[in-house]
Structure 1
Amino acid sequence: EVIDRVEPEDFFRRLGPTLGECCAAVLEKLALKHCPQVWSMLPEPVKVELREKILEQSQQMFRPIIGDLKANVNQIFNIKQMAVDALIEDKPLLVKMFQEIGRKEFTFVLHVAAVMGFFLGIVQMLLWANFKAAWSLPVSGLFIGYFTNWLAITMIFRPVQPHIICGGYINFQGVFLKRQQQVAQELSSMICTHVIYARKMLEFVIKTEGFQQVLGIYQTHMENAIDGVVGRAQVVLPVFVGRDAIRGIKDEVVQITLEELPNHSREIEEYMDRTFALNELIGPRLRGLPPEQFEGMLRPVFQEDEWMILTLGGVLGVVVGTLQAFALGS
């Protein structure tokens, strides 16, 4: 769906000048290497004509290239694997993302624990007033600390499905899931800003086996394009370099193109970011996820350390209860 947004007409309209500069640079380097004296003697109008012919052939070449890339995109590029690799390599970014999307939920845990601790503390006080048992304070503290943290975490994700009550005025649903629309947009923006964008996509493809497939597609169509240029300019090119050298020139074109493309990376990346518009694609997808699936965006973070949060609440409850017992002379 992402690559389908690339249309040849829009591609040439936006990247035509960049493509022309790249073709001109490739032609210049080849000419200076194989026939520098002849190239320097050629009139400028002839050079311009050669550049125009190569650019014209390149435009014809890129149409089937784009078609082949679309047809083989699943073998060339795995966007899910790219996102996973990026977050594994940059763990601080992963932590920051979860802190951002879960900031209200983390605050909610603190507030619920405090409020519930207050009300349960009143119950604890009544028990102490009636029984005056020293053990009751640390034991009740253990229960209160553990239970309040458990309740807060549970209220974040449960119930999963919305339950509309009081004539539609109250939506009884997990706090995180209530915020799905807002969180989805925030997460989409963060992903497209820090994880999945043009430069990262290009870097990922270059490191994978899919890059060789991209090169193969380019080389196949490039050779056809060169054959077309030679066929039209056979009075010029074969005389200077010989027909046997054409095979070597084809390989050189690929190499020089790879060397030249980084000089135009800014224009290419801007085109990709603007055309792919990933935020417009990912945001609605996240907002449209069923609550059961959307829960998985944040739930694993709590599940991994949930035991620690609950244990810490219980331990602190015991400590506070013990201090209370000493303070009350028990």
Structure 2
Amino acid sequence: MELTVEHLILLAIPIISAIVGWFTNFLAVKMMFYPIEFIGIKPIFGWQGLIPAKRQEMAEIEVELVLGRLLSVEEIVDRLDPKELTNSIQRRLKQIIRKLVNDIMQEVAPTAWAALPVQGKNLVYARIEMDIPNVVQKTISDFKHNVTEILDIKELVVKQLVAHPELINEIFLKAGAKEFPFIERSGFYFGFLFGLPTMVFWYFYQLWWILPLGGLIVGYATNWIAIKIIFEPKHPVKIGPFTIQGMFLKRQKEVSEVYSEIIDKKLMNSQNIADIVIHGSGSENLLELVELHVNDAIERYVAIAQPYFALGVGSENYYKMKELAAKRLFERSESYLPYAYDYAHQALNIGDDLCKKMQGLTPEEFEGVLRPAYQADEWKLIVTGAVLGMAAGFFQVFFVFV
């Protein structure tokens, strides 16, 4: 049997359907993540990746569904040993304290400080340095007892993910590293299968609308099926020798490890926690603790070592000195806290803790790790696939009739 142009056109239908299925699924995946920032004319003419566009909402969902439920701030911070943490920053803190003392005394009591001999200044430095561990340990202990007023995990996560949309993309892309390529490939296979009935209909009824309709169905169905296969069925279903379960849910152990590692290293690491503690909404509460223990140390020093010190500098300058001491020590925290990051990271152990708890989630709970934030917009991806498929169908009609 000789192949005619009509036969070639007929055979091309499922092949073109396969290509359309692959392309629409490929585009759907890319549209989830890119571009990171809106391109076009807001609010309608243009596009921004679904996930970066909803990073604020997604960050809040991550906190509520995962971090808020699985991680207890009190439990995590309680792992910090005040003595160990103090030891990690003590050497650097001593270096900073000397300059702080010198600067503050020159500001509040320049004459008295200038008149004090070197030996006297060294005694002041030595007395303060000796008291540093006591002040730091008491501050850390009080911080642990008041952590919910100082450290807001939701604020930390939302701030980081909103400021770094590429990070939330990384969480999804790495956690779904096997699912997203499958979505793209499956479009080709399902597209070919859906193209076969379109080919049959076209063989018997060469109506112009069959190919656009077939393309629309292919684009819609391939995207819809691909998304469903990722998350359905939630629980393993035994069919003969095969066990079927949503691809993402089937990899719960592996995904938990990847997800927890990113959260631990790039989101809830020691540096980000310290940053939100110092600059976040609870920083004023932390400053109050620092003031409390610094002032207490100054009072003890003045009472024991130099009873008439307050009279010598004047009551107004004395209170100013106490205020400046706490404030400057707090402001310079970024100079000495980094020395505690390594210890704090090991002690907090957020990654391992989160991973174990995620692996223990039910399939319904685990689905909530990645899907809810963009689930409301899945229809956009499916409709986009349908529109592109229909456009490909019109192209086929044009090719056939022209």
If the length of structure 2 is used for normalisation, what is the TM-score? 0.71
1:157 maps to which of 224, 228, 231: 231
The Cα of 1:238 is off from its aligned counterpart by 5.0
2:368 — aligned with what?
A: 296
1:96-135 pair list within 5 angstroms: 96-135=170-209
Gap change, CA 1:32 and 1:313, over 3 Å in 2:
closer
The Cα of 1:83 is off from its aligned counterpart by 0.4
- Do residues 182 (structure 1) and 254 (structure 2) align? yes
- Do residues 94 (structure 1) and 155 (structure 2) align? no
Gap change, CA 1:301 and 1:69, over 3 Å in 2:
closer
2:87 — aligned with what?
A: 13
1:37 maps to which of 91, 107, 114: 114
What code does the residue aligned with 2:230 have? I
1:225 — aligned with what?
A: 297
**Alpha-carbon distance in 2 for matches of 1:209, 1:76:** 7
Larger helix share, 1 or 2: 1
**Residues 9-46 of structure 1, C-alpha deviation per residue, up to 9 Å, x if partnerless?**
2123222212322333333334444233233x232xx5
2:306 — aligned with what?
A: 234
2:18 — aligned with what?
A: none
SS in 2 for 1:155: helix
If the length of structure 1 is used for normalisation, what is the TM-score? 0.85
**Alpha-carbon distance in 2 for matches of 1:237, 1:28:** 16
The Cα of 1:214 is off from its aligned counterpart by 0.9
Are the equivalent residues in 2 in contact too, given 1:157–1:175 (CA < 8 A)? yes
1:264 — aligned with what?
A: 336
Are the equivalent residues in 2 in contact too, given 1:159–1:172 (CA < 8 A)? yes
2:96 — aligned with what?
A: 22
1:248 — aligned with what?
A: 320
What code does the residue aligned with 2:113 have? P
Gap change, CA 1:225 and 1:154, over 3 Å in 2:
same
**Alpha-carbon distance in 2 for matches of 1:55, 1:164:** 68
SS in 2 for 1:297: coil
**Residues 200-254 of structure 1, C-alpha deviation per residue, up to 9 Å, x if partnerless?**
3333233434111111112112222112212321268457535674333211211
2:62 — aligned with what?
A: none
**Alpha-carbon distance in 1 for matches of 2:151, 2:213:** 57
1:183-198 pair list within 5 angstroms: 183-198=255-270
Gap change, CA 1:80 and 1:290, over 3 Å in 2:
farther
**Alpha-carbon distance in 1 for matches of 2:321, 2:394:** 84
Deviates more, 1:249-258 or 1:109-118: 249-258
Percent of aligned pairs with the same amino acid: 28
- Do residues 84 (structure 1) and 161 (structure 2) align? no
The Cα of 1:311 is off from its aligned counterpart by 1.7
**Residues 227-285 of structure 1, C-alpha deviation per residue, up to 9 Å, x if partnerless?**
22123212684575356743332112113313433332432444433433332333333
1:51 maps to which of 121, 125, 146: 125
**Alpha-carbon distance in 2 for matches of 1:326, 1:252:** 79
Gap change, CA 1:243 and 1:234, over 3 Å in 2:
farther
Unaligned 5+ segments in structure 2 are 1-74
Gap change, CA 1:126 and 1:59, over 3 Å in 2:
same
